[in-house]
Structure 1
Amino acid sequence: MPSQATVIPVTYRAMDEKDLPAAHALSQTMRWPHRLEDWSFVLGLGTGFVAEEAGAMIGTALCWKQGQQASLGMIIVSPEHQGKGIGKALMKLVLEALGERSTLLIATPAGRPLYEQLGFIATGTIHQHQGTLKAPPRALSFPGETLRPYVPGDTEAIIALGNRATGMSRDEVLGALLAAGETVVLERHGEVAGFSIMRPFGRGHAIGPVVASDTDHAKALIAYWCGAYAGSFVRIDVTGASGLQGWLAQAGLIQVDTGVAMARHGVPQSDSTLQQFAIVSQALC
């Protein structure tokens, strides 16, 4: 009589720094661009969980509390273990950690049905653009306004703008981004009125967030980077409502993917006079 195959149980636990190399390797099997440094950055801002089988990492999920709001991402299940409920178990762990916070995520078409089962609803789209950055066809300037590099005295104003544009408490996230990257500020009559951040990420650099009052000012904040980074590989993820898609293509940043923005327990209430045209990332949103 043939013996039954041994069933190896899947175990779940909190993620810590020693798990980063294995998490990075897992993301590489999915052809994600994240560097080990990118994993370290996001874990340092949030909470993570891993799924293991026989001591090998087969899944990850991270989440970030941002006041009474939150985001989640880095949801990965190894290809050979998909369809076994591991992703759902990891999602339940991060949602339990977040409680009743208004929670955002960016879904792939494959992941969307699971997220809908867990109470997420679609709220828009996110368009991933990337390529070799070049100068856009038209430089933009505005009377009484100037673009200049960030100085530490701008920190409070930048965080306030970021919070207003998203309806989230992004003090920690924006503080970490300001330390990790370069920032350009739109100054209007002596006051900070917008900003964009360029940081190392993946195959090159990423722009985000971009916060401004309108599309033309968002274009100016993105175009600023064309001088120092022309010829570099750059990624930017913009909202479907940004109106930037065609203009980004002219700047060498071609749309390569689209995700679905989803929310659970409502959508954070943002300031209607500001907009986050480019998100930080599809994890931190």
Structure 2
Amino acid sequence: MYWLTVTTDPTPRALTHGHLADCLSLARDRGWSPEERKWSFLLDNGTGYGLFDSGELVGTTVVTRYAGQHAVLSMVLVASSHAGQGLGRRLVEHALAEADCPVVSLHATAMGRPLYEKLGFRLVGRAVTHFGVFRDAELSGSTRSALHADLPAVVERDAEAFGADRGVLWKDYFRFTDQVRLGPSGGFAAAWRTVDNLSVGPVVAESVEEAKVLVGDLAAGAEGALRVDAYHPELADWLVERGLERRGGVDLMVLGDLAGDRARLHVPMMQALG
């Protein structure tokens, strides 16, 4: 008879940039793209927690807090060698205890959703991922590139749609993005460069039509593939018409009550940031 000895430290510890290479290795282990820029940005603007087994990183999560109003959980990963030991639940419970916000949200995969439901999260929406080369992209002439002077207005409109002030994050995100565009009716959209695509988000607009214009103008002149996580079916169908393929999706889940005018939030900033 053989006995399995679990040596994992039961208490999650704070992650630093010194753990970045281990986070990327863990992402590869679970089939995630090793997005160094993204991980670095999240650790700069949120708090990462890790579980360790004999010094080896075997589990992660990140909590990003917005002005004490709303926290987003992300990057919940457990090494394949340690699956089935309850480490995911341990990480999420620790993150919830540390979140210290009345509202906590996350984007859940099908694999993760049962755990979050057990912890009291409820389903409130779905973001469908679209990926591919945007067809026939041309500037509409009705949007413009945002300037740094536009940042206060972008932060205000973002808060109205998202339901929490993300101004502190936006100061870094504005620099992190390749481009932010302002729409004709007060909406805006941003895009940032990943390892293999240009990822769009957020898109805040008064209507789906304005959202389409903003996404199309971000796509104009972009090299390579575009990624868009669309909340609204009409926008999702339009993206398919423009040449992007559906690549699955994630469920938006929440503890507490979401605020804001969510009908205006057509695409999240990124799944990890809400």
Structure 1 length-normalised TM: 0.89
Q: Which amino acid aligns with 2:98?
A: A
Q: Which amino acid aligns with 1:236?
A: V
**In the alignment, is residue 186 of structure 1 matched against residue 188 of structure 2?**
no
| Superposed CA RMSD | 2.0
Partner of 1:244: 235
Partner of 2:199: 206
Could you tell me the percent identity over the aligned residues?
26
Deviation at 1:226, TM superposition (A): 2.8
Deviation at 1:100, TM superposition (A): 4.2
Write the distance in 1 (CA, Å) between the matches of 2:2 and 2:30: 34
Distance 1:34 1:4, change over 3 A: closer
In the comparison of the two structures, how many residue pairs are matched? 271
Rg (Cα) greater in structure: 1
Distance 1:111 1:6, change over 3 A: closer
Partner of 2:268: 279
Distance 1:106 1:20, change over 3 A: same
Write the distance in 2 (CA, Å) between the matches of 1:130 and 1:7: 40
Deviation at 1:33, TM superposition (A): 2.1
Unaligned stretches of 5+ residues in structure 2: none
Unaligned stretches of 5+ residues in structure 1: none
Cα distance per residue 1:167-189 (max 9 Å; x no partner): 1111122222211111111145x
Distance 1:196 1:9, change over 3 A: closer
Partner of 1:114: 115
- The structure where strand makes up a greater share of residues is 1
Write the distance in 1 (CA, Å) between the matches of 2:2 and 2:238: 63
CA contact (8 A) 2:107 2:272 kept: yes
Partner of 1:170: 166
Distance 1:134 1:5, change over 3 A: closer
Distance 1:235 1:34, change over 3 A: farther
Q: Which amino acid aligns with 1:43?
A: L
Write the distance in 2 (CA, Å) between the matches of 1:84 and 1:97: 22
Partner of 2:61: 61
**In the alignment, is residue 270 of structure 1 matched against residue 260 of structure 2?**
yes
Partner of 2:156: 160
Distance 1:212 1:55, change over 3 A: same
Partner of 1:9: 8
Distance 1:140 1:99, change over 3 A: same
Write the distance in 2 (CA, Å) between the matches of 1:97 and 1:244: 36
Deviation at 1:199, TM superposition (A): 0.8
CA contact (8 A) 1:100 1:265 kept: no
Distance 1:84 1:219, change over 3 A: same
Partner of 1:220: 213
Deviation at 1:18, TM superposition (A): 0.3
CA contact (8 A) 2:8 2:51 kept: no
